[in-house]
Amino acid sequence: MYPRSFDYVAPSSLEEAFGALGDDAKVMAGGMSLIPLMKMRLLSPGVIVDIGRIGGLDGIEDTGDHIEIGALVRHAQTASSDLVKSHAAALSTAASLTGDVQVRNRGTTCGALAHADVAADQPAGVIACGGVMVAQSATGTREIPAADFFVDSLTSALRPDEILTAIRIPKTGAGERSAYDKLGRRGGHSDYAVAGAGAWVKKSNGSVEAARVALTGVGTKPHLAEGVAEALVGTDGSDEAVDAAAARALEGVTVLEDLYGSEEYKSHLAKLYVARALKQALAAT
């Protein structure tokens, strides 16, 4: 199927891009999420604003207290970057498990996050790592915590006049590590997640001082599992403590049954992969 007709704009600056935005416009970076939906006519924007020619958005930088991933950084770059591996291992792993080789070399991390698919890998990674989304418009810049960025299925907190220009992630400190794990729709790590989890932990003096856990693939949006962190903090981080905390993974989540699993099955997987991600992160501390 072919998309409906649309106008195409390829600005050379953010200012030009902001001028082309409107209620009937969609931003395109790599196009790996947007174009398939347009072909199926699930989305039919009147204007495509292709930001791929705008300079200065394709880098991963160390800015002192955090790292910054630009809007045109490809999944493959996020996956292979030493900076991301060191300070956001959960996001690096999630990027390495996104799509196939072609998608990873064309699609962008920011584009995948702005797309806000319920089963995408990188939202769970960026939430777990405490990321902040940088949204720019002609009127200024907003910083949106990743945990607040995902509103519903295919719906983010971005306004129609905004572009997600970067992600900022705090640098890893002593005793802090993160991890991501999932079951893909084809039974392994490939394809979208049937259930996946990102976990970040901080361990000090033999106990868990802080934690963040995020789920993907299970509910209507990527979800910060606050109950898991609440149950884990103050424990010794043993397998028994992790399993007990993972039992709270679905608090506040409406589990969606779909072609890839029943509600019961996906609920089981959510707890299983929360436990796996936490154990991987704790083992690295």
> Domain check: are 113 and 94 in the same one?
yes
The total of structural domains in the chain comes to 3
> Is 103 domain-assigned?
yes
Q: CB–CB of 199/213 below 8 Å?
A: yes
Same domain? For 45 and 64 the reply is no
* 140 and 69 belong to one structural domain: yes
Q: How far is CA 76 from the centre of its chain?
A: 14
Do 106 and 69 share a domain, yes or no?
yes
Q: What is the pLDDT of residue 188?
A: 66
Cα angle 112, 116, 117; round to 5 = 90
pLDDT confidence of residue 187: 73
pLDDT at 211: 98
Domain boundary among 107, 135, 170: 170
Range of the domain at 241: 193-284
Check whether residue 64 and residue 46 sit in a common domain.
Answer: no
- Residue 258: strand pairing partners: 261
Contact 107, 67 (CB under 8 A): no
Q: Are residues 135 and 71 in the same domain?
A: yes
DSSP string over 107-127: SBHHHHHHHT-TT-SHHHHHH
**Residue 107 shares a structural domain with residue 89:** yes
Report strand pairing: 47-50 vs 25-28.
Answer: parallel
Report if residue 182 sits inside a domain: no
**Domain with 26 in it: what CATH number?**
3.30.43.10
Nearest to 57 by CA among 80, 34, 28: 28
Per-residue model confidence (pLDDT) at position 186: 83
* Distance from C-alpha of 152 to C-alpha of 220, rounded to nearest angstrom: 6
User: Does residue 71 sit in the same domain as residue 166?
Assistant: yes
CATH of residue 88's domain is 3.30.465.10
Question: Tens digit of pLDDT per residue, the chain (285 long)?
Answer: 789 899 999 999 999 999 999 999 999 999 999 999 999 998 999 999 999 999 999 999 999 999 999 999 999 999 999 999 999 999 999 999 999 999 999 999 999 999 999 999 999 999 999 999 999 999 999 999 999 999 999 999 999 999 999 999 999 999 999 999 999 998 767 689 999 999 999 999 999 999 999 999 999 999 999 999 999 999 999 999 999 999 999 999 999 999 999 999 999 999 999 999 999 999 999
Any domain includes 1: no
pLDDT confidence of residue 126:
98
Q: What is the pLDDT of residue 39?
A: 94
In terms of domains, do 278 and 253 share one?
yes
